[in-house]
Structure 1
Amino acid sequence: MATLEKEKRQEKIKIQEQVEKPVSPWKDAWRSFKKNKIALIGAIIVLLFVVVAILAPWIMPYDYNKNDLVNRLQPPTGDHWLGTDDFGRDILSRSMYGARISLTVGFSAVLGSIIIGSFLGVVAAYYGRWVDTLISRIFDILLAFPSILLAIAIVAILGPSLRNALIAIAIINIPNFGRLIRSRVLSVKEEEYIVAARAVGMNDSRILIRHIIPNSITPVIVQGTLAIATAIIEIAALSFLGLGAQSPKVDWGKMLADSQQYLVNAPWTMIFPGVAIMLTVLGFNLMGDGLRDALDPKMKS
């Protein structure tokens, strides 16, 4: 009898071991993301630029703003791997420091857009009525203007500077996140578990924080990753027009603006900042596509 019970216990243990352990949605998304080789390449590119941006003050071979007129417009050599610009400044050092500014502005602008846009979108969708109408009309007004022209107008009013360029980029991206999370909240708030939460007397703030926002944030994460790429292009465009970084600070857009007249005689002064922008944007786009595939159940096979 004891032997029979022992065998039953062993069989029960084997059956339990064969049952797959529950996996959290985030772990499942990470597994899916790791299987996407192209997305991993994008993540590696982004990580590389982030590390360079963080460590730039310590790994730059030269002072990014040090003039050396004797060696101006020198092509890539052993001393200056990416050459020098019209003031003899090392392009590699300036590109590294430019990564620091461009990525900081891109991340900060998108983070501000996500916070403000998500707040407005959640409030509009959850409370509806005149609140929804008012916020939605504000989004429509902002979206009625071409984004880059609206950013130029905002910086022109506030004055050329990196801070004002950051504010402008954050403002023009608010409607995108607001409308995105609004549509998601409109769907989630009608779910049965939300109705049940209201029925048991849970207040609005607790419902929003514990249920609605966590179940609506996934598309915002994906859109945020893609928006950083767009923000980097936008800050480069503003700096190229003289509305972003001001001397002695430098970003990739300002480097392009300073070297545009040397495109024929010294093309390396424009090529390397342009390649830096292209690779960074490519990395964020590849990573964003991978996150979309990993986080969206409809995209999973």
Structure 2
Amino acid sequence: MQTTPSLQQPANTSIEKPSSPWRDAWRSFAKNKIAIAGLSIVVFFILVALFAPFIMPYDHTKPDLINRLKGPSAEHWLGTDDFGRDILSRIIYGARISLWVGFSCVAGSILVGCTLGIVAGFYGKWVDTIISRIFDILLAFPSILLAIAIVAILGPDLQNALIAIAVINVPNFGRLIRSKVLSVKEEEYITAAKSIGMNDARILFHHVLPNSMTPVIVQGTLAVATAIIEVAALSFLGLGAQSPDVDWGKMLADSKSYLVQAPWTMIFPGIAIMLTVLGFNLMGDGLRDALDPKMKQ
């Protein structure tokens, strides 16, 4: 008598989750210890900025002339500045402004630059020519000098510094996504979408844009680090944050006269800038390795 073979699978058979490009990218990113270290630094400073009012040991604006230019101690871990204000508290509060300006500048640059770049790459012809020449004109000026000129025209203010830094980064994102759109629009699925009568807006938002954003994400991460340095440079020159607001660049400007007498007033804000920029650069390199197919090969 023949026995019918069992069709049941073993009970311990595991079903793997379907793979996706973003899940694969995260797995690749998570394996990169240096990238995870950069992400940890960025998350740390973001949390410091978010919870600054609750973790500052002192009021960052309250002077204490009796304790001016005191070195690091148990009472003031990072010392005090020329007005006796706690440096640790000012660094913690300065993280809010520095990170907010960095993210806001990059968000504005991505919005304007990607819009112009997508239109230029998709439609081509005279539209591409005009937009590309605008990018070339902006790139012809040294970025920091152009930012200084814009702030000088608009007036020294943190908001105007934000606008200036956003403007000088627009052509970087515009040219990046334009080159990507030029290759994406030649793909067969774009031709198929046009053949069935899909309008340009739907093709742009549902097909071209999602398949062109990978390099923009990587560049955006690296651009935040650059924006933080640029806003610190403008504040150092007196064109950024104005009292009573404070960012790390203004702290450097206020302490430049005391570099020999009280070096901690400049060292610790400089370290904060260095660590934040390092974190974004490490994270950006990890994203590039995870999202770029060429790097995976």
TM-score range, shorter chain: over 0.9
Match for residue 188 of structure 2 among 180, 188, 192: 192
Which residue number in structure 2 is paired with residue 108 of structure 1?
A: 104
Query: Is structure 2 residue 249 aligned with structure 1 residue 232?
Result: no
Query: Is structure 2 residue 256 aligned with structure 1 residue 260?
Result: yes
Query: Is structure 2 residue 173 aligned with structure 1 residue 161?
Result: no
Which residue number in structure 2 is paired with residue 247 of structure 1?
A: 243
- Inter-partner Cα distance in structure 1 for 2:14 and 2:216: 36
- The amino acid that maps onto 2:125 is R
- Inter-partner Cα distance in structure 2 for 1:21 and 1:70: 64
- The amino acid that maps onto 2:104 is S
Query: Is structure 2 residue 195 aligned with structure 1 residue 214?
Result: no
- Inter-partner Cα distance in structure 1 for 2:47 and 2:122: 40
Q: Aligned with 1:51: secondary structure?
A: helix
In structure 1, stretches of 5+ residues that fail to align are: none
Query: Is structure 2 residue 83 aligned with structure 1 residue 87?
Result: yes
Deviations 1:100-152 (A, max 9, x none): 00000000000000010000000000011110000000000000000000000
- The amino acid that maps onto 1:127 is Y
- The amino acid that maps onto 1:107 is F
Deviation, 1:22, is 2.9
- Inter-partner Cα distance in structure 2 for 1:111 and 1:164: 15
- Inter-partner Cα distance in structure 1 for 2:283 and 2:247: 23
Deviation, 1:18, is 7.5
Which residue number in structure 1 is paired with residue 292 of structure 2?
A: 296
Call closer, same or farther: CA 1:3–1:154 in 2, change over 3 Å.
Answer: farther
Which residue number in structure 1 is paired with residue 273 of structure 2?
A: 277
Which residue number in structure 1 is paired with residue 23 of structure 2?
A: 27
Deviation, 1:57, is 1.1
Deviation, 1:58, is 1.2
Which residue number in structure 2 is paired with residue 47 of structure 1?
A: 43
Deviation, 1:24, is 1.1
Could you say what the CA RMSD is over the residues aligned between the two structures, in angstroms?
1.4
- Inter-partner Cα distance in structure 1 for 2:254 and 2:65: 15
Match for residue 140 of structure 2 among 125, 141, 144: 144
Aligned-residue sequence identity (percent) comes to 76
Normalising by structure 2, report the TM-score: 0.97
Deviations 1:186-222 (A, max 9, x none): 0000000110010011111111111110000000000
- Inter-partner Cα distance in structure 1 for 2:15 and 2:180: 34
Deviation, 1:300, is 1.0
Call closer, same or farther: CA 1:236–1:198 in 2, change over 3 Å.
Answer: same
- The amino acid that maps onto 2:243 is S
Match for residue 125 of structure 1 among 121, 126, 130: 121
- Inter-partner Cα distance in structure 1 for 2:31 and 2:280: 17
Deviations 1:252-285 (A, max 9, x none): 0000000001000100000000000000000000
Which residue number in structure 2 is paired with residue 203 of structure 1?
A: 199
Call closer, same or farther: CA 1:115–1:3 in 2, change over 3 Å.
Answer: farther
Q: Aligned with 1:93: secondary structure?
A: helix
- Inter-partner Cα distance in structure 1 for 2:62 and 2:23: 47
Normalising by structure 1, report the TM-score: 0.96
Deviation, 1:21, is 4.4
Call closer, same or farther: CA 1:297–1:18 in 2, change over 3 Å.
Answer: farther
> Where does structure 1 differ by over 6 angstroms across 4 or more consecutive aligned residues?
none
- The amino acid that maps onto 1:29 is A
Deviation, 1:2, is 10
- The amino acid that maps onto 1:189 is K
- Inter-partner Cα distance in structure 1 for 2:160 and 2:109: 14
Task: Give the helix-richer structure, 1 or 2.
Answer: 1
